[in-house]
Structure 1
Amino acid sequence: MSPEGTERDADGGLGRRNFLKLGTAGAAGLALAGATASTAAASTRSAATSPSVNTAAVTTMPDPAPVDLKQGGGKTYHASPGDTPEFHVNDFEGLKNALRNAGDGDIIRVADNAAIDMTGAENTLTIGAGVILSGGRGNDGSLGGLIYTTRNRNPVADKPLPMFKTYGDRVRFTGLRLQGPRLANYWDPEGYDGNPSDDTAYDNYLIGGIHFLGDNCRVDNCQLYGFTHAAISVGAGSYPVSSRIDHNSIHNNPMEHFGYGVNLYNGESVIEWNYFDYNRHSVAGYGYDTNGYTARYNLVGEHPISHAFDMHGRTQNDGSDTEVAGGTINIHHNTFRFTHDVFPDSRAQEAIAIRGIPADRCDIDNNWFYHDSKPVEVNKQGNAYRQENEQWMHMWASGNHFGRNEPSGDIGHPR
């Protein structure tokens, strides 16, 4: 089956969105701590109209990643594509033409001062196998070229609209800023009314950044923020692919029920050396037994909206009620700098939630949790980690540190 044929199943449907609301009924009001992305001269265009270059100032968000750590990239990041770029672009037409002509191994260099408006042209540009879209983030103080959308609504209900959907293998985004339409810390278009069945208000707000449907793709040294669905998505329901997500600052992806930093539909991914904050889930897995990840050397900031690292459960088709939560999950040498969420109601908040039984195993090792103690109860919200099951099954943990006092240097994020 093609990835197009599996898209709706991969997007998850209503069941995927309801779990947080079920646990937080009664929270009040719409919490919006930020401004919707805007530009001085650009407004939302129809999908049939190609964006023109916008030379006016664009409202952006500052990068919250620590400047003195490797987590988050920027000035501490010293890798680059290496070769001379075949294309230099600074506006939408230049980007479109470069992507049309780029071949395997070609580098497209986005100018450091570029502000490329994708509004109305999301998911219209094809990126070929092996093409590298590159910017200068971290070089001589550069923030990296900006690619953004101000589209606040998706014309197709209940189907995420990414700025870029790639089918080619080995596609890479590096050294760029990708910005979505919602510059906020938390946002619920329903106003958090406590009714988990009445969630159609979300259907037309699903805007994403990058969706990889090719194998062995990568995002490194980028700042990604402002997306209501997911900054980065990988794979589809029956279409597992691999990816590497490293040295990025992924923050302020804020929408209730969604709001993912890295959204793993299917396949195996490595997620390392990133800085995460103000995401509803910084890493979310969909739950297939072919769906797994290694998350290592990441730093999660002080402002969670829900648990940071996640693997959803999926009921099997064998007549049992078993919820399989992914295949192999390896979470080690990360730091989680929180014990409570900040939106919507300051609950005690776990760092990791495994929402069923992994088909293979989940290992949680050598992490630094700000939570006071090692979990004893299996499924208690607010522990450092929890499993949605009556007993620990296919779960192992060792060498973790609990509490705010700093552990030895071989525990938690490298620092």
Structure 2
Amino acid sequence: MLTLTGSAAAATLLGVGSASAQPTPSKHMLLDTTDTEEVCHYVVEASEAIEVVPTDGNTVSTATDTRVEGDVDQGYVALRYDGWISTIEIDGRAYVRFGDSAEKLFPDTGRKVVVTSPTEVDYQFTATGDIERVEDGSRNAAETQNDSITENDDGTVTADGFTGNGYGDSFTVYGDVTEFTPLEGDYTITVDGQETTAYELTGQEPEQSKRLRIVSPTEIDYTFTVTGGAVRVEDGSKYEAETNNDTIEQNADGTYQVSGLTGNGYGDTFDLTGDVTAFSPMEGEFTLTLDGEEVSAYELTGEEPPAEDESAEDGPVIGGGEGYEHTVPESAADVVVSTKAQLNDALQSASAGDVVYVSGDADIYMGESEFSIPSGVTLASDRGIDGAAGGRLYTDRHPWPMLEAADDVRVTGLRIEGPRSDWYDRGVLEQGLTLSGSGCEVDNVEAYGWGWAAVRCQQSAHVHHSELHTNTEDGSGYGVATTSANDVLVEYNHFYDNRHSVESTGGDYTARYNHVTGKAISHVFDQHEPGGDRIEIYNNTVEVVDQDRKDKNAPAVAIRGVPSDGAYIHDNWFYNPEEPRSTPDGWTDEAIIQVHVDSWENVEFENNHYGSSEPSSDDVGCP
């Protein structure tokens, strides 16, 4: 009889005999007979449970929940147990190992890795050993058509799958998991039934999360993209994100898109990992804080603000063209086109992040064609580069519209020409560029000759540093039509010979730092009845005075109806010398009028300069 005590049992060479009951420091035990030349008979009992892990050379003759008996011939007996070892009987010679020294020699029988999600997740992971699908017919069974397994050139194996809606995928994984993507998201990983994280599974350190809060005193629909992951903070406060309003979805490229709605002094809060690469709208009546520090959307995404930092020697380049800093060179293009067919093929094949470039010498007749620009694509040309005019897309027909942009599209450096060069009575209409998606940007563009509008915004948009002119038709004829969109920013543009430079039928817009010259056909900055939500018009210079088709002055601003939030008109230079009346009186000819009311309602104006003489302050008018 030989007694083993504590850690002395590890790596001990035993002869024939038995050991009395002893608690052990580990749940792994190994009988090693690889260095002996005789068959060893063994009996091992545990106080609670015992399990034999299959190995070469080991033959189990009897096995119960707490006792195993068998023979091993120049191999290992690998045992897992609960409680303590109560009996060891060995007929032969064997090393008895416990703890780490035993576990290191255990054969790899694989671990069951299960990925589940209440929503949807595209995942991929790589292991140093084999990966096998568990196809057991359960709701967490892996599927051949959705879940692929690939052997890599370096000997590793990668599983690539898709699951969700409360279902999952299961795999038997051998070796170590070295990579898992995404590292965070709306999913759960279990290994042999124990919940874990992708960081723990791969041995990586989790990236420190950042807390983003979005607050608005009015209302904001927002969307942003983050590279790592996003988790709603649901803490019961007035700034908590809500499952029903605020969604988190994984994109095909592994990033995450977060969309939400908040306002009226409330907010939404998220814990983020990775970088925020896009945010819409970039400007508006909202506040962002990152880990408690207030930031702008430009600072959050790392984008350059389009206004204050864009300056030539004598100030910002109003209307774009030569001197504009943020041109796109042809070298940045993914594809360069010179014909209508090439442009059509390129746009149909483009995906987010691509730059489709219209050659600077291209003159493309579009006819009645209506082309769509996919989300996230930039359509560019070389306007302003070494004095270039930019590639031209033109028509003598009536498309509606010639170009239609999806979410987060940028159109820059192009000339977009419609069929009109003079005043027309109302007839067949056409549109140049329609921004159907949110977060679109139009910059350094010359757009002209359109009966309805050169640029039409249907959601949040930024139209800047462009030359928008000769859009003339009775009852329409707009440089920028904001329709009823919210969060539209119109700045640093040169407008001339439009019926209205900016038109709105509702929603809200900001017009600032614009220069309006040429002929006046009607009022310049417009708001239709019932009056919209919020209109901000400031630091513009409007040189037009006389209406071209009527014997009266042209108002610079006409508010029809009553804005629900207000119209705020300040620090503008209006060449029209007539200051606003003390009480509105319909369609009069002062610089600022409000129509369909008997008194000023929700319209505020201050510090504007009237007349063609130079203002005393450099802070009045456009830069």
- TM-score, scaled relative to structure 1: 0.71
**Residue 499 of structure 2 corresponds to residue 280 of structure 1:** yes
Q: Does 1:413 align with 2:619?
A: no
Matched residues in 2 for 1:96 and 1:373: separation? Answer: 50
State the shift of 1:69 in Å. Answer: 6.2
Does residue 359 (structure 1) correspond to residue 564 (structure 2)? The answer is yes
C-alpha displacement at 1:398, in angstroms?
1.2
Distance apart, 1:68 and its partner CA: 8.8
**1:269 is matched with which residue?**
488
Tell me: CA distance 1:179–1:346, structure 2 relative to 1, closer, same or farther (3 Å).
farther
**Mapping of residues 239-388 of structure 1, within 5 Å:** 241-267=459-485, 268-287=487-506, 291-313=507-529, 324-342=530-548, 344-376=549-581, 377-379=583-585, 380-388=587-595
Partner of 2:424: 187
- Letter of the 2:403 counterpart: F
- Once the 2 structures are TM-superposed, how far is the Cα of residue 80 of structure 1 from its aligned partner? 2.9
SS in 1 for 2:552: coil
Residue 447 of structure 2 aligns to which amino acid in structure 1? L
Q: How does 1:135-214 map to 2 (within 5 A)?
A: 135-151=381-397, 153=398, 161-166=400-405, 168-184=406-422, 186-189=423-426, 202=427, 205-214=428-437
Matches within 5 A, 1:392-403: 392-403=600-611
Give deviations 1:205-252, integer Å, cap 9, x for gaps. 1111011110010110000000011101111xxxxx100000010000
Instruction: Give the 3 Å change call, closer, same or farther, for CA 112–339 of structure 1 in structure 2.
Output: same
The 2-side partners of 1:101 and 1:272 are apart by 32
Tell me the secondary structure at the aligned position of residue 271 of structure 1. Answer: strand
What SS does the corresponding residue of 1:76 show, helix, strand or coil? coil
Summarize the Cα distance change of 1:68–1:118 in structure 2 as closer, same or farther, 3 Å threshold: farther
* 1:89 alignment partner in structure 2: 337
Match of 1:70 among 317, 342, 356: 317
Aligned partner (choices 219, 224, 236) of residue 442 of structure 2 = 219
Determine the C-alpha separation between the residues in 2 that align with 1:177 and 1:84: 19
What is the match of residue 111 of structure 1? Answer: 359
Give the length in aligned residue pairs.
Answer: 304
C-alpha contact (below 8 Å) 1:104/1:129 kept by paired residues = yes
More strand by share: 2
- Which contiguous aligned blocks of 4+ residues in structure 1 show a shift greater than 4 angstroms? none
Say whether the 8 Å CA contact 1:68–1:76 is kept in structure 2: no
For 1:305 and 1:76, locate their aligned partners in 2 and report how far apart those are by CA, in whole Å. 30
Contact 2:368/2:402 (8 A) holds in 1? no
Structure 1 regions of 5+ residues with no counterpart? 1-66, 155-160, 190-201, 236-240, 314-323
Distance in 1 between residues matched to 2:364 and 2:538, nearest whole Å = 37
Structure 2 portions without partners, runs of 5+: 1-313
Q: CA deviation at 1:101?
A: 1.1
CA-CA distance at 1:165 after TM superposition: 2.0
Q: Distance in 2 between matches of 1:275 and 1:76?
A: 14
Q: For the Cα contact (< 8 Å) 2:327–2:384, is it kept in 1?
A: no
User: Contact 1:270–1:294 at 8 Å: present in 2 too?
Assistant: yes
Between the aligned partners of 1:295 and 1:79, the Cα distance in structure 2 is: 21
- Structure 2 partner of 1:134: 380
**Alpha-carbon deviations, 1:52-107, whole Å to 9, x = none?**
xxxxxxxxxxxxxxx99611110021113477210101111111111011110111
Q: Is this contact kept in 1: 2:327–2:444, CA < 8 A?
A: no
Q: Is the partner of 2:357 in helix, strand or coil?
A: strand
1:230 aligns with 2:453: yes
Aligned-partner residue type, residue 110 of structure 1: V
CA distance in 2, matches of 1:357, 1:120: 39
Looking at structure 2, the residues matched to 101 and 229 of structure 1 have their Cα atoms a distance apart, in angstroms, of 30
CA displacement at 1:374 relative to structure 2: 2.3
> Once superposed, what is the RMSD of the aligned Cα atoms?
1.6
Residue 75 of structure 1 contacts residue 139 of structure 1 at CA under 8 Å; is this kept in 2?
yes
In 2, Cα distance between equivalents of 1:245 and 1:334: 15
Question: Per-residue CA shift, 1:347-380, capped at 9, x if unaligned?
Answer: 2211110000001011001000112242124235
Counterpart mapping for 1:45-56 below 5 A? none
| Structure 1 residues 243 and 339: CA distance shift in structure 2, 3 A | same
- What is the TM-score when the length of structure 2 is the normalising length? 0.48
1:43 corresponds to which residue? none
Residues 578 and 589 of structure 2 are in contact (CA less than 8 Å); yes or no, is this contact kept in structure 1?
Answer: no
Three-state SS of the structure 2 residue aligned to 1:283 is strand
